[in-house]
């Protein structure tokens, strides 16, 4: 399945590699003008929102996890928060912290995978992480080690790294003892050192020039770097709760894609993910992570998408730091979960998936069955922005040789760590209203 020979100035990548899921890329240039940029998603649709209807609300965390094998925890977290909001349940204290810890694990795992095996090879000129390992064994082993540390958190808390089984509406099925968490401590200390090195290492990569003026959208919490909670804020002054999300964001189906695009009503494309989080929450990072970011030459704002690799490394460092804090403060709660009783209600929530804002909304009936579900994953929110980036990148790099331009375009896409599996959960409910 090789790329077709492009005619004239057409860049076409039939199958993007080193992204999660199946997607392609199509760019049409005439003279010095870019006519068309399409991020083509042909990962088959899987209709999650459709078949969530009629399922019991308690099944939502397990079912939605299956939207994405790369960030299942994010889906579980958004699902339980949305449902708890619907049912008026507060989950605080140690249970809340355990959820945060679990999420840290997924961030570390997912970011380390992207930085090491998917993104770094672009900068160093290798087709993939495994070939890169031949000449950069240390960097790859370090990345894999970090990934493993993240996975171990998820495994201890969730039972397994992919589609953990221990998350339920109201808390967990079983909470760990202190002794169970203890072995993680040593590993995370080592991981934290590795993350520091990773920040330094990524900072030394060569970054193409590209300063973009995005509208960044992220969660923001009064005291914490955002994971599970916060208001939705943007660099242009948006400040809303998750319940208001659909008043401000709209989705459209693009003809070339099996995913829906999300847009901010009345405004241009926007960006979610590490860059957005970092830029709007810099001061909430742990001192160690802030310092490492500064030392890596990142200011409190970073607008070059290529540098997202450094920002991801900083977030790994933060997540290790935060996980260590959470473990050291952990006291097992009396009960593993808060009792949740169904009633007719609806609720929404956003959490910060590794790739950015993940929105869930549910309406449930008296017997606990789901009447309506809506899910907006990060990649469908970023799709427009990715296309925008490609447009400006290609415009300013038309002088590049064709192969090089194509490779760079792919890299532009990978800057976002787009998760195409997520993007194709496919949305149904908006359409129904039409």
Q: Which residues bind another protein (CB under 8 A)?
A: 1, 15-22, 43-48, 50-51, 55-56, 59, 62-63, 66-70, 72, 113, 117-118, 127-131, 133, 137, 140-141, 144-145, 147-148, 151, 159-163, 165-166, 168, 172-174, 253, 255-258, 336, 410, 421, 426, 428, 431-432, 434
Compute the CA torsion angle 204, 208, 209, 214 (nearest 10 deg): -90
CA distance 351 to 301: 22
User: In angstroms, what is the minimal distance from the CB of 214 to another protein?
Assistant: 27
Q: Cα dihedral sign for 420, 427, 45, 99?
A: positive
- Residue 91 or 285: which CB sits closer to another protein? 91
- Helix (DSSP H) and strand (DSSP E) numbers for the chain: 16, 14
Q: How far is CA 42 from the centre of its chain?
A: 20
User: In angstroms, what is the minimal distance from the CB of 90 to another protein?
Assistant: 22
- Residue 100 or 163: which CB sits closer to another protein? 163
Structural contact between residues 191 and 108, judged by C-beta atoms closer than 8 angstroms: yes
User: In angstroms, what is the minimal distance from the CB of 59 to another protein?
Assistant: 7
- Residue 145 or 332: which CB sits closer to another protein? 145
DSSP state, residue 306: G
CA distance 48 to 421: 12
- Residue 279 or 408: which CB sits closer to another protein? 408
Structural contact between residues 112 and 72, judged by C-beta atoms closer than 8 angstroms: no
User: In angstroms, what is the minimal distance from the CB of 213 to another protein?
Assistant: 31
CA distance 421 to 238: 28
* Vertex 91: Cα angle to 89 and 96 (nearest 5): 160
User: In angstroms, what is the minimal distance from the CB of 1 to another protein?
Assistant: 7
**Which of 341, 337, 338, 340 minimizes the C-alpha distance to 174?**
337
User: In angstroms, what is the minimal distance from the CB of 360 to another protein?
Assistant: 16
- Residue 190 or 231: which CB sits closer to another protein? 190
Instruction: Report residue 163 as tokens.
Output: 């589609």
Structural contact between residues 362 and 54, judged by C-beta atoms closer than 8 angstroms: no
Could you tell me which residues are beta bridge partners of residue 337? 171
- Residue 48 or 270: which CB sits closer to another protein? 48
- Residue 31 or 255: which CB sits closer to another protein? 255
- Residue 293 or 364: which CB sits closer to another protein? 364
Which SS3 state, helix, strand or coil, does residue 291 take? helix
- Residue 260 or 314: which CB sits closer to another protein? 260
CA distance 24 to 269: 20
DSSP state, residue 144: H
CA distance 124 to 132: 8
Structural contact between residues 112 and 150, judged by C-beta atoms closer than 8 angstroms: yes
């Amino acid at each position: 399945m090789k790329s077709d020979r492009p005619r004239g100035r057409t860049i076409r990548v039939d199958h993007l590699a080193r992204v999660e899921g199946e997607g392609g890329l199509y760019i049409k240039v005439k003279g010095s003008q870019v006519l068309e940029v399409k991020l083509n998603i042909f990962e088959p649709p899987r209709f999650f929102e459709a078949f969530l209807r009629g399922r019991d609300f308690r099944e939502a965390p397990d079912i939605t996890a299956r939207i994405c094998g790369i960030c299942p925890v994010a889906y579980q977290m958004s699902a339980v928060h949305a449902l708890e909001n619907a049912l008026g349940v507060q989950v605080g204290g140690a249970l809340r912290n355990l959820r945060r810890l679990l999420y840290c694990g997924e961030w570390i795992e997912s970011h380390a995978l992207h930085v090491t095996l998917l993104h770094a090879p672009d900068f160093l000129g290798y087709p993939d992480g495994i070939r890169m390992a031949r000449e950069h064994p240390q960097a790859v082993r370090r990345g894999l080690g970090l990934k493993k540390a993240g996975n171990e958190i998820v495994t201890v808390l969730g039972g397994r790294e992919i589609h953990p089984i221990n998350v339920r509406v109201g808390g967990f099925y079983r909470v760990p003892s202190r002794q169970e968490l203890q072995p993680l401590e040593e590993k995370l200390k080592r991981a934290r050192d590795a993350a520091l090195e990773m920040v330094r290492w990524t900072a030394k990569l060569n970054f193409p020039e590209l300063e973009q003026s995005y509208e960044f959208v992220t969660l923001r919490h009064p005291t914490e770097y955002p994971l599970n909670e916060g208001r939705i804020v943007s660099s242009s002054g948006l400040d809303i709760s998750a319940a208001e999300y659909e008043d401000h964001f709209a989705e459209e189906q693009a003809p070339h894609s099996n995913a829906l695009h999300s847009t901010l009503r009345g405004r241009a494309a926007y960006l979610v993910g590490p860059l957005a989080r970092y830029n709007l929450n810099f001061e909430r990072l742990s001192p160690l992570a802030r310092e490492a970011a500064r030392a890596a030459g990142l200011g409190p704002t970073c607008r070059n998408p290529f540098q997202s690799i450094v920002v991801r490394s900083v977030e790994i460092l933060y997540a290790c730091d935060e996980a260590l804090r959470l473990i050291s403060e952990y006291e097992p709660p009396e009960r593993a979960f808060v009792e949740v009783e169904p009633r007719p209600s609806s609720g929404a929530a956003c959490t910060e998936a590794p790739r950015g804002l993940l929105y869930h909304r549910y309406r449930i009936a008296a017997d606990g069955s789901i009447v309506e579900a809506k899910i907006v994953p990060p990649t469908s929110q970023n799709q427009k922005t990715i296309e925008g980036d490609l447009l400006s990148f290609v415009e300013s790099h038309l002088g590049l040789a064709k192969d090089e331009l194509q490779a760079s375009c792919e890299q532009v896409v990978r800057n976002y760590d787009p998760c195409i599996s997520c993007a194709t959960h496919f949305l149904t409910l908006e359409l129904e209203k039409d």
